[in-house]
Structure formats: structure tokens, C-alpha cells
Structure 1
Amino acid sequence: MLKQSLQQKLLQKLSPQQIQVIKLLELPTLQLEERIKKELEENPVLDEGNTEEDYRDDNQAEESPDSDKDKEEFSLEDYIDDDDTPSYKLSAQNYSKDDKHEDIPFSGGTTFHEQLISQLGLRILAPEKAALAEYLIGNIDEDGYLRRDIDNIVDDLAFSTGINTSFEELVEILHVIQDFDPAGIGARDLQECLLLQIKRKGSHNPDVKNAHIILKKYFDEFTRKHYDKIQKRLNLEDEDFKCAVDEILKLNPKPGGAFVNPMSKPSPTIIPDFILEEQDGELNLSLNSRNVPDLHISRSYSEMLQDYSNNKENQSKEQKDAVMFVKQKLDSAKWFIDAIKQRQNTLLVSMNAIIEFQREYFMEGDERKLRPMILKDIAEITGLDISTISRVSNSKYIQTHFGIFSLKYFFSEGMQTDSGEEVSTREIKNILQECVDNEDKRKPLTDDKLAAILKEKSYVIARRTVAKYREQLNIPVARLRKEL
């Protein structure tokens, strides 16, 4: 039986402008600069710089008859003359002569794989075997491992290149590659990698010999740090066993990382989004807008649109289409400028709320003064949505008089001591880290013992909570922290 009914629903739909604000809010300063640059290239109506200066420049251009020769600008006729507007006309005037890229020679350096290929050239191999060796080298990852299954490589060679080979032949060639530098290259797993390195040290040294036996026969026990079991089976004295383990710890688990590519890019520098300065007991916050230009609507396009709008009766279809095009670009430029302003305002409001909430900390830089603070706290102070505060704090940094910090650093949960005092979980994590740093590595502290220590300091925390904090600090369990 069919039945019709009316139902009311309250749905919230975001406008394109709101979506644009949200996307801009997520961007850190460096990416915002790139986003603005892209918008300037794509929208000829959008301009940068001081509006008054631009206006004076325009007037001077009108007074000087030769000025048009030096400066070529868009006009509305550019869009009217041709039905099909070439794409270059939308961005051609958004670069200067200095932006032209020339072919400048540079030192290419040598990549990790090229270094292995160069060593291959020093070996006397039949052409077909050299080709197979080069294919294997191409499958070695940046850590120096051949993690692909050799049977799969045999199949790939048959299907993609028509070369027929066998598992045994590829293993034979792999052994040649494993003799290359640095030691450990071409291993199929960690155990093989360490064994390749320990073999290079020879077997004359008894410590190296014992290390080889441990890696060969007791690798699983070694990775689980079951040292007592291994030592008992090998019947070694404490000092001899320690020396053998020290030999293993000297090995490199990622031999590919030993080769430094001169062309590899350095880690990106952190550019703070906020700058906080302390002067005479006052905190002054500002946005880092060093490379973010002032944006405005191009005066010439606004005046053009006004002129054409006053002459609607005499316009052809092409002229009307051009007017519509410019109007759309004008609207887009206005939305973008408003979105940038809204972003800056939201960032300042949110960061000021964080500073006020954590005022004691920002005055002194003492981590112990950090109060428990969650996204909801700042959302309630600012009246903004929690998701907005989350976007503000994500990938943003602030420069203070005592260092540069991620905004996420200031957020932490809270708990109460047995005396009812509220403390940040960061304080508890610091105590855990300190306990682990100062523990006897021959008898590391278990989670139960750590919980007991915290209890003595008035922090009553369950063992499972201690385990959670320990994992968040990337501290392994006691057994894996054991040393000789």
C-alpha cells in the first residue's frame, strides 16, 4: 500500500564562498602564499599592492602618451574581438620578465641506484646477466632492500620484456649485487641485511663470530630481547655476550640510507603563521603576512564594467558575453578577498583565545604552566565551531620569544590529582618520560611499576592508562627497553 506524507528536515548547506573560507582556513602560511599566487594568475580582475598607488600609476599612464608602449594591459576588447578566447590571455600578463626560466646547467649528482649501477660496471658479467642485474637494482628500494618476491620478478621479466630466467639465476645475480657497497645492499629482509654486514667483518674476531651465530640461529629471540635465553644457550659470559650484542648494534638496518644523494631536498623550513611578542608584560599577537600581498579589485576592470553597463542598448552579443565574463571574474575576486579577510580574522580570534587561556605559559614559557585545554574550550570562548578551531590549529605554528611551536602542542586533556588539583596529561607524560630515561635498563620499569610511581606522586592512574600514555610517547614495553 502506497502512502504519501510530508516531512520537514533542517539541512545546512554550505555556499561556495563558505567552502572557500573553510579550505583557506586549513592552509598554513606557505601554502596560502601559493594559493593567492594561483588566484592572481587565474583571475585578471584580482590585483595586488596598494590601491592608491595603483590609482596614481593609472593617472600617470594617462598623462604620458608613451607609457602604453612600456606596459601592456588587458582590455575588455581582448575578450570581444575573438569568439574563442585563447587560454593564454587569462594569465599572460601575470608574470614579469624576471620570471622567465632559462636552461641553467647544474650539477646533477649521483642517485643511489646510479651508484649501484656504476659498481655493476666494474663486474665482468655476460650482457644478458648484466641486464638482469640492472633490473634487480631497479627493484631495490631507497632503504637498500629487495622487498619484491623473486618469483614475481621472474614473471615480470617474462611478461614485460620477454626475458626468460629462473629463480636460481636471479638469486645468483643477487648475490653479486649483495657484494656491492654499502654492506647489506640487496637484502630481502632485516636478518639477511645484518648477516651480510657481519660477514664483511670476518670471523677472526670472537665477538663478531658470536654476533653471527646470534643473527643466524637466534634472530627472533634477539629481536624480542630474550637475552637470558640466548646467553644460556650459547653458554657465554656476561661480558662476551654484551660484546657480541654491541657488534650487532653497530650494524645499519637501512644501508641505503648510508648513501646521501647530493640532489636530495632538505627538510622544509617551518614558517610560523603567528608572531607573538612580549613587551613590558604585554603580549602582542600578529599574523605573519610577510609574503601575503594586499589584494584588491583592479580599478580598470571595475570602470570598464561600469562603462559597458551604461551602454547596454548598443551592445552586441559578443560584448554582452564579455561583460558577463568580467562580472563573473569580479564576483570571484570579491569572494576571494572576503574569504582571505575572514580567514585572517578567524585565525586571530582563535589564537588570541588560546593565548588568553594559556596566559601564564605564554608569559614565561614554562611548560608546567600549561593548563589542560581541548578544542571545545576555545570553541566556547570564541563562539566558533569545534571543527573551525580544529582547522585553525592544524598545521599552524606560532613564533614566541622562547621558540616556535605547533598550535597542537598547546592542547591536552586534563585529570585531577588525589587532592583535587587539575593537571595536564602532558605533565604526567613528562614524568613517565623522565622515569623511563632514568630507569635501570637491565631491569626496565613495567607499566605496573610506572603506575605505582605516579601514585606516589599523587597521580592515581590505571595501568592501562599508563600504557596508553607510554604508547603516545613512542616508548616500547619494558621487555623491549632491556639492555645489557
Structure 2
Amino acid sequence: MLKQHLQFKLSQKLSPQQIQLMKLIQLPTQAFEQRLKQELEENPALETGKEETEPQEDEFDDLYDDETDSENISAEDINIDEYLSDDEIPEYRTQANNYSSDDEEKSVPYAAGISFNQYLINQLNTVYLNDEEWSIAEFLVGSVDESGYIRRPLTDIMDDLAFTQNIYTDEKTIKKVLRIVQELDPAGVASQSLEECLLIQLKRKEPTASIELAISLLEKSFEQFSKKHYQKLIQKHNISEVQLKAAITEIERLNPKPGGSYSGNNRIVEHVVPDFTIRITEGQLELSLNGRNAPELHVSREYNNMLEGYKNSKEKSRSQKDTVMFIKQKLDSAKWFIDAIRQRQQTLFITMNEIMHYQKEYFLSGDERKLRPMILKDVADAINMDVSTVSRVANSKYVDTPYGTKLIKEYFSESMKNDQGEDVSTKEIKKILETVIGEEIKKKPLTDDKLAKILLEKGYPIARRTVAKYREQLDIPVARLRKQI
């Protein structure tokens, strides 16, 4: 049985300008410049540079005072106030004082190059292969990843050759062609495992006693070698510790990722443009926003003059009214965009300013052990903004400090209590842990249990599993794999 009933419900909806503002806030400087360029191209009512007089909103509304027909445009139909936020933007300094017209971005040319796969194909041209072998070799080269490995089983490659290239072959033929591909440079390319990659490189070297022993170790005892069971290796191969150390030295000189050694791979290096700059002047911190984040924009006077022309004309055709509608929309859009940029500047500056003062001791000294525990909510509560807004600023913005350019989110960390009940940053504990491991005796590296005891003695009571978690976050292997002869 169907029933009808009334229900009252309150809901919040983001206005178009709020959505636009959130998108602008999360953009770093370079992406923001692209977005600004796009808006300038799409909206002819938006212009760059200084403008002495701005068009008044009242002038726009006056154009429609004499309209009485219901089909005609009225000022209420496109009221800007429906789209703008009620929040007043406080006046404060948003322009950086270290930016001038001389600092305009210059385009950086990149040297032309060829891809890693094309580099291998070019080498294949010097090898004699029949048509079938060439097709297989070309397919194998296409299967090489950025590290220089072919990680797919040969049986899968055999099936793909049949289905995609209409080449019906066997695994033996593919292995034969693979050996030819593995003779290409850099040494170790097209290997199917780390063991094979290292062996190929060793066998290309001039044979010596240490290299022959290294080959024997990898061929006969790779698992024990990878786990650094040195005593077992000495007994199994009947060698001395000096001989083992010499063989390990030869292996350590090899490249486990041959693809990474190719320098002509046409890979574009990403340049980081800092969004903020922090400088120390007479013992005080100074924060400035990158001037490229504060462009000078204004609404086009030409569009305003076009509206004035319509206002003064006695006859108003339908096409003229459609034109006015288009112009009004473009002017509204320009105003929204300018307002969003101003709010973006304000939000970025206020957020970073709070982070700078919150971590004042660190920015004055550069000592990571002085980083205070700080989460997004700490900053959001201090500046009376939403956590999501602070997150948008922290996740994609860089700050140039006297100690290097860093991502802002690196200054955030959780807290942990020391033996005196004080809150300390987990970054401080990680820094101490890294220092302790760096000073350990490599013949007898410290286990996680011993590391936990040392940290306890230093006043940081944390469990062994927490030590293991921090060690993994620092990308430090377990004690067994840190062992050296």
C-alpha cells in the first residue's frame, strides 16, 4: 500500500565557488599557473595586470531595470550573491615582496632522446636474426620493464606471441632468443631474476679468483648469500673470511637494476617549485608566499563598455539580449575566479604561518629532533578551518627553508610519551633510531629487542614491534641483513 508523507530535512550543499576554491587550494604552484592560464583562455572577461577602475556591480544590474517582459532577462535571474560566500575576506598582505617582473618563468628545453626499449631495439639491428627470431626478440625487448627485467614467465610470453603476433613457437626457441637479448647493453638486461642479473654481469668481467668465487656463490648458494649466512658459506665453499669478503665486494659493485643505468631514457625530471619561503632574519622567522601564487587579475573594462552600449541603446533585439546574458555570465565567472584566488592566497598563507610558528624551534635550528608532534587537527583548530582544508594545503605544497625544500606534510607526525610523560614526536624517535643503527658494529648488528632497550635507556619506552615498524618506515633492513664481515 502506497502512502504519502511530508518530511523536513536539513542538508548542506557546496556552492559552485566553494567547490572551485577547494580545487584551487589543493593545486601546487605549477599546476595553479596552468589552471590560471586555462581560465584566461576560456574567459575573455578575465584579464591580467593592474586596472585603475573596476566595473561596479550596480552598473550591471541597472541594465535590466527597464525590462518588464517575462521572457526578458532580469537582474534577479543571474544574481551573483547566490554564488558568492557570505564570508568577508580580511585584508592582509598577500603579495610576496621578493617577486618582480624579472622573475618570470623561462621555458626549459629538454634534450631529445630515445626510450630504453628503443635503445635495445637499435642494438638488435646489429645482430643477425631470421624473421621469426627478430619478431620474438622485439617482443622480449617490449616486455623489459624500467628496472631492466623480464618478470613474466616464458610460457606466458609464448602464448602472447601466438595470440597477438600469430607466431607459434616453443619455449626452447624463446630461451635461445632470450640469451641473445641478454647480450645487449647494459649488462644484466632482460634477466628474469636478481640471481640471473648478477651472474650475467659477473661473467662479462675479466675473470679473477674473486669473481669466480662470486659466480660460484651465486650459482650454488644464492639463498644463503642473500640471507647473509656467512659462516655457512665459508664452510660449504671451504674458503677463508678474507676470500669471502673479496667476493662480496665484487658482487656489491654490480647493478641490481640495469635499466636504471640507462641515461638516455628521455625521462623528464620534475622540478619542484616551492609555494612558500621561510627565511631567518635577525633570529626571527619570515614567511613569504611565492609571487606566482598571487597574480594581478581584473574584470575586463571592454566587456563593461559593451554592457554600457546596450544600456544606452533604445532598441533591444533578442540577439542583443542573448549577448548581454553571455557577457553577464562571463563577468560573473571572472568575479568568482578572482575572489577564489584571493581566498586561496589567504588560506595558504594563514595555514603555513601557523605551521611555521607551531614548529618554530625546528625552523630556527634545523634539528629534526625538535619537531613537535603535530596533526592536521592541531593546525585546523588554531586557524579555525576544516581539517580537509589543511590537508589540501599540506599534501601538495612545498616550502623552501634554510635546510632545503620539503613537502609540508613531512612536518606532521603523531605523538608519543617519553619516560617523563612529555609528548614527543615520532619523527624524533625515528631520528634517534636511525642514529643508533648508523653507529652500531656491523659485524654484530643490533636486533629490534636490543634497539628497544637502547631507546628505553634514552627515555623512550616503546615496544619491540613499534621499533620494527619505525625501522621499516625508515627503509632499514633487519639485523641479519645489515650484517657485514
Q: If the length of structure 1 is used for normalisation, what is the TM-score?
A: 0.82
- Return the offset for 1:4: 6.2
1:187 & 1:262 partners in 2: Cα distance? 19
Superposition map of 1:172-191 within 5 A:
172-191=176-195
Inter-CA distance 448–13: structure 2 relative to 1 (3 Å threshold): same
2:160 & 2:406 partners in 1: Cα distance? 49
Does structure 2 conserve the Cα–Cα contact (< 8 Å) formed by 1:414 and 1:424? yes
AA of the residue aligned to 1:128: E
Task: State the match for 2:251 in structure 1.
Answer: 248
Task: State the match for 2:98 in structure 1.
Answer: none
RMSD, aligned α-carbons: 2.5
1:309 & 1:425 partners in 2: Cα distance? 66
Task: State the match for 2:120 in structure 1.
Answer: 116
Segment of structure 1 superposing worse, 432-441 or 328-337: 328-337
2:110 & 2:347 partners in 1: Cα distance? 44
Unaligned runs of at least 5 residues, structure 1: 56-104
For CA contacts below 8 A with separation 6 or more, give which structure has more relative contact order: 2
- Return the offset for 1:54: 10
2:323 & 2:384 partners in 1: Cα distance? 43
Could you give the per-residue CA deviations for residues 325-384 of structure 1, whole angstroms, max 9, x where no partner exists? 222211111111111111111111111211222223333434343222211111111010
* Aligned residue among 196, 200, 207 for 2:200: 196
Unaligned runs of at least 5 residues, structure 2: 56-108
Superposition map of 1:147-166 within 5 A:
147-166=151-170
Could you give the per-residue CA deviations for residues 205-247 of structure 1, whole angstroms, max 9, x where no partner exists? 2322222222122222322333333333223221122222222
Task: State the match for 1:52 in structure 2.
Answer: 52
Task: State the match for 1:78 in structure 2.
Answer: none
- Return the offset for 1:107: 6.8
Does structure 2 conserve the Cα–Cα contact (< 8 Å) formed by 1:353 and 1:381? yes
2:308 corresponds to 1:279: no
Does structure 2 conserve the Cα–Cα contact (< 8 Å) formed by 1:225 and 1:479? yes
- Return the offset for 1:24: 0.7
Inter-CA distance 242–277: structure 2 relative to 1 (3 Å threshold): closer
Superposition map of 1:11-50 within 5 A:
11-50=11-50
* Aligned residue among 261, 271, 274 for 1:269: 271
Task: State the match for 2:212 in structure 1.
Answer: 209
- Return the offset for 1:125: 2.4
AA of the residue aligned to 1:212: I
Task: State the match for 1:351 in structure 2.
Answer: 352
Segment of structure 1 superposing worse, 193-202 or 337-346: 193-202
AA of the residue aligned to 1:277: R
* Aligned residue among 298, 301, 313 for 1:299: 301
Does structure 1 conserve the Cα–Cα contact (< 8 Å) formed by 2:285 and 2:364? yes
2:168 & 2:349 partners in 1: Cα distance? 66
- Return the offset for 1:415: 2.3
Task: State the match for 2:456 in structure 1.
Answer: 455
Inter-CA distance 200–279: structure 2 relative to 1 (3 Å threshold): closer
Q: Secondary structure at the match of 1:290?
A: helix
Does structure 2 conserve the Cα–Cα contact (< 8 Å) formed by 1:418 and 1:459? yes
AA of the residue aligned to 1:327: K
2:130 & 2:380 partners in 1: Cα distance? 70
Inter-CA distance 48–183: structure 2 relative to 1 (3 Å threshold): same
Does structure 2 conserve the Cα–Cα contact (< 8 Å) formed by 1:33 and 1:292? no
AA of the residue aligned to 2:120: L
Does structure 1 conserve the Cα–Cα contact (< 8 Å) formed by 2:54 and 2:298? no
- Return the offset for 1:315: 2.8
Q: Secondary structure at the match of 1:47?
A: strand
AA of the residue aligned to 1:34: Q
Inter-CA distance 366–194: structure 2 relative to 1 (3 Å threshold): closer
* Aligned residue among 138, 143, 152 for 1:139: 143
Does structure 2 conserve the Cα–Cα contact (< 8 Å) formed by 1:113 and 1:137? yes
Task: State the match for 1:59 in structure 2.
Answer: none
Does structure 1 conserve the Cα–Cα contact (< 8 Å) formed by 2:362 and 2:371? yes
- Return the offset for 1:142: 2.6
AA of the residue aligned to 1:122: T
Could you give the per-residue CA deviations for residues 100-128 of structure 1, whole angstroms, max 9, x where no partner exists? xxxxx997444433332333222222233
AA of the residue aligned to 1:249: E
Could you give the per-residue CA deviations for residues 403-433 of structure 1, whole angstroms, max 9, x where no partner exists? 3332123222222222233322222111100
Inter-CA distance 155–347: structure 2 relative to 1 (3 Å threshold): same
Does structure 2 conserve the Cα–Cα contact (< 8 Å) formed by 1:20 and 1:339? yes
Does structure 1 conserve the Cα–Cα contact (< 8 Å) formed by 2:294 and 2:345? no
AA of the residue aligned to 1:42: E
Does structure 2 conserve the Cα–Cα contact (< 8 Å) formed by 1:183 and 1:196? yes
- Return the offset for 1:308: 2.3
Segment of structure 1 superposing worse, 423-432 or 106-115: 106-115
Superposition map of 1:334-349 within 5 A:
334-349=335-350
Segment of structure 1 superposing worse, 267-276 or 440-449: 267-276
1:5 & 1:418 partners in 2: Cα distance? 62
Inter-CA distance 171–425: structure 2 relative to 1 (3 Å threshold): same
- Return the offset for 1:5: 6.0
1:354 & 1:458 partners in 2: Cα distance? 27
* Aligned residue among 229, 233, 239 for 2:232: 229
- Return the offset for 1:316: 2.7
Inter-CA distance 464–319: structure 2 relative to 1 (3 Å threshold): same
Could you give the per-residue CA deviations for residues 306-327 of structure 1, whole angstroms, max 9, x where no partner exists? 432565x733332222222222
Does structure 2 conserve the Cα–Cα contact (< 8 Å) formed by 1:25 and 1:343? yes
- Return the offset for 1:19: 0.9
Superposition map of 1:306-317 within 5 A:
306-309=308-311, 311=313, 314-317=315-318
Inter-CA distance 148–5: structure 2 relative to 1 (3 Å threshold): same
Task: State the match for 1:93 in structure 2.
Answer: none
Percent identical across equivalent pairs?
A: 53
1:376 & 1:334 partners in 2: Cα distance? 32
Task: State the match for 1:289 in structure 2.
Answer: 291
* Aligned residue among 157, 167, 173 for 2:171: 167
1:309 & 1:229 partners in 2: Cα distance? 95
Inter-CA distance 151–367: structure 2 relative to 1 (3 Å threshold): closer
1:355 & 1:108 partners in 2: Cα distance? 42
Does structure 1 conserve the Cα–Cα contact (< 8 Å) formed by 2:368 and 2:431? no
Could you give the per-residue CA deviations for residues 141-179 of structure 1, whole angstroms, max 9, x where no partner exists? 232222233233333333333333222212111111112
Segment of structure 1 superposing worse, 107-116 or 295-304: 107-116
2:249 & 2:9 partners in 1: Cα distance? 69
Inter-CA distance 421–108: structure 2 relative to 1 (3 Å threshold): closer
AA of the residue aligned to 1:138: G
